[in-house]
Amino acid sequence: MIIAAIGIWQVVLIVALILLIFGGKKIPELMRGLGQGMNEFKKASGEDKKDDNKKEDKENDK
């Protein structure tokens, strides 16, 4: 796998590049936005499952 091929120095290099590109102040904002997006995605996928379960229950009642 590719993940196993990544060493500690590659991770350090990637983090350093991210800090250079975005700066220290912008990273918390980016992470907050990413977290909110993930939460919205989880809620939306959970609603789809609930809708599917309701449809199955209605079909079973017929």
- At 11-24, the pLDDT tens digits run 899 988 988 888 88
Which range of residues forms the domain containing residue 44?
A: 24-62
In a domain, 10, yes or no: no
Band (61; pLDDT cuts 50, 70, 90): low
Domain-located, residue 32: yes
Is 29 domain-assigned?
Answer: yes
Examine the pLDDT at 9 and tell me if it is beyond 60: yes
Indicate whether 11 belongs to any domain: no
Domain membership flag for residue 13:
no
Query: What pLDDT sits at residue 25?
Result: 84
Rounded CA separation 2/29 (Å): 28
pTM for this model (two decimals): 0.48
**Phi, psi (degrees; rounded to nearest 5) at 51:** -65, -40
Number of domains in the chain: 1
Share the mean pLDDT of the chain: 80
